[in-house]
Amino acid sequence: MPVQVKICGIRREADIHFLNEFLPHYAGFVFAESKRRVTAREAAELIQKLDSRVKPVGVFVNAPPEEVAQTADFCGLLAVQLHGDEDGTYIRRLRTLLPAGTAIWKAVRVREEGDIVQADSTDVDILLLDSYTEKVYGGTGKSFNWNIVAEHPPKNTFFVAGGLTPLNIIEAIRTMHPFGIDISGGVEGPDGCKDRNKIAALFAAVPLG
Ligand SMILES: O=C(O)c1ccccc1N[C@@H]1O[C@H](COP(=O)(O)O)[C@@H](O)[C@H]1O
């Protein structure tokens, strides 16, 4: 099965045009504190213009479960990506609130094998392995030690993230064998906006099956 591709940090109409051209499997909208943050209203307007083959995912950091569920419903999110300290109790509560069929993804910031083992015991649909930076929850553009994943792969279905670029993506896939990849800063230009040429380079490296 071809690797699933998520492009995260979509916030402009131009980004939507790029996604509609290249058709990644998923588009990420950040609702947490970030330079890429969008409001629910902005995301909903963008999602209406998104090709229906591209599934919208909302990124949240320690938001109240009621707010996550409300945003998922309002925007028509297919999945919510929890990128903070959300624990099992939080996730069980969120499941009771989310619209039926909304998947829960949980980000894990990997420093050592134990982080993966612990994350594997969480009842979620997908794990997302990202890099660890103190006091920063995500979108750091930093990669982590991929050998930890190669040597201790999660039992759960997993995506990898953190500092992925069109140049290192093939090595990341060959090393970690993920179900999917999630990339944000690696397809942005110096102005912090999504860059069509970098997205094209990503899809030249990772063809969609
Ligand atoms: O993108 C953000 O600004 C962000 C903010 C808070 C939590 C998560 C965020 N994005 C996620 O971070 C990873 C890695 O991004 P990058 O490729 O290293 O820039 C990715 O999973 C994004 O979905």
What ranges do the domains of the chain cover? 4-205
> What residue has token string 């995301």?
43
193 belongs to the catalytic site: no
pLDDT by residue (tens digit) across 23-65?
A: 999 999 999 999 999 999 999 999 999 999 999 999 999 999 9
| Residue 76 scores a pLDDT above 70 | yes
Question: Of 173, 96, 176, 183, which Cα lies nearest the Cα of 138?
Answer: 183
Question: Of 55, 23, 15, 58, which Cα lies nearest the Cα of 39?
Answer: 58
Q: Which of 15, 75, 115, 130 is catalytic?
A: 130
Span 175-192, average pLDDT = 97
Output the CATH code of domain 4-205: 3.20.20.70
Burial of 85 per CB tally in 10 Å (0-12, 13-18, 19+): exposed
The protein residue whose alpha carbon is closest to atom 8 in ligand 1 is: 138
Token output for 108: 């894990």
Span 80-84, average pLDDT = 97
HEC secondary structure over 14-52: HHHHHHHHHCCCEEEEECCCCCCECCHHHHHHHHHCCCC
pLDDT band at 208 (very low <50, low <70, confident <90, very high): confident
Find the 154 Cα to ligand 1 centroid distance in Å.
20
Q: 103-110 and 79-82: which strand pairing?
A: parallel
| Residue 209 scores a pLDDT above 80 | no
To the nearest whole percent, how much of the chain has pLDDT over 70? 100
Token output for 127: 């794990």
Find the 131 Cα to ligand 1 centroid distance in Å.
10
Which atom of ligand 1 is closest in space to residue 81's alpha carbon? Answer: 23
Q: Please state, rounded to an integer, the average pLDDT across all residues of the chain.
A: 96
Q: Which of 7, 25, 30, 165 to mutate to test the pocket of ligand 1 (most atoms within 8 A of CB)?
A: 30
pLDDT of residue 90: 97
84 Cβ inside 6 Å of ligand 1: no
Which atom of ligand 1 is closest in space to residue 183's alpha carbon? Answer: 17
Burial 61-73 (b: 16+ CB within 10 A, else e): bebebeebbebbe
Burial of 158 per CB tally in 10 Å (0-12, 13-18, 19+): buried
| Residue 85 scores a pLDDT above 90 | yes
pLDDT by residue (tens digit) across 117-161?
A: 999 999 999 999 999 988 889 888 999 999 999 999 999 999 999
pLDDT of residue 6: 98
pLDDT of residue 138: 84
Question: Of 8, 4, 51, 59, which Cα lies nearest the Cα of 185?
Answer: 8
75 belongs to the catalytic site: no
